[in-house]
Amino acid sequence: MDRSLRVAVIGDRDPRFPSHLATEDALRHAAAYLGIRVDIRWLATEPLESDLAEVKAADVLWCAPGSPYRSLRGALAALRHGREHSVPTLGTCGGCQHMIIEYARHVLGYEDAQHAEYDPYASTLFVSELTCSPAGKTMPVTLVPGTRVAALYGRTEVDEEYYCNFGLDPSRQETLHDGGFSVIGVDGDGEARVLEIPGHPYYVATLFVPQTRSRPGAPHPLVVGLLRAAL
């Protein structure tokens, strides 16, 4: 076990959040499975507004649950670096939502793209409150065959746990998908639950929290895939 990866977790860590502790555990489970070590560093969002040194030093990025963050701008700056510099990046729950906003602003040109938790009355909402909240539920997700995520799971029907009340606004789903941030996993109503950028080494966003289903000796495949992409 002589290989080590530096993992920067973007988010404002709170030890009271089970999903934050589960994020650390899931990384360790996946690292043990791969026979490597991980150096996990949480990066609070406010300092990222002016200093991305820790982001640039990371081998892997994980944008954590727990929105709204203290700094939307800091989180988006870190995600932009991961996307533009081919750093393996995973965003779960709130992290997924911020990946959507970053892409809408900096790739699709919607400079005022907004998240309803920060501004529920914004004119260009890309992330809005879900009509039927999946928070606290384990629900089925259907994956597109042939995608990276489907390959990691080894199947196209999975069940995952949710903590969130917000997601990609359905009116923006086609715009985001056609713009290159592909919707490759949906719920029973066809609403986005998983997105990835084809051609990027690993840029995956999930509305669910895969880390909560990771166990010692049985790491979550998406976390294994995240670390493996950096090896």
Alpha-carbon separation of residue 34 from 6, 17, 50 (angstroms)? 15, 27, 34
> In the chain, how many domains are there?
1
Q: What is the pLDDT along the chain (231 residues), one digit of tens a residue?
A: 679 999 999 999 988 888 899 999 999 999 999 999 999 999 999 999 999 999 999 999 999 998 899 999 999 999 999 999 999 999 999 999 999 999 999 999 999 999 999 999 999 999 999 876 677 679 999 999 999 999 999 999 999 999 888 999 999 999 999 999 999 999 999 999 999 999 999 999 999 999 999 999 999 999 999 999 999
Note down the domain range covering 98: 4-228
- CATH number for the domain spanning 166: value is 3.40.50.880
- pTM of the entire predicted model: 0.95
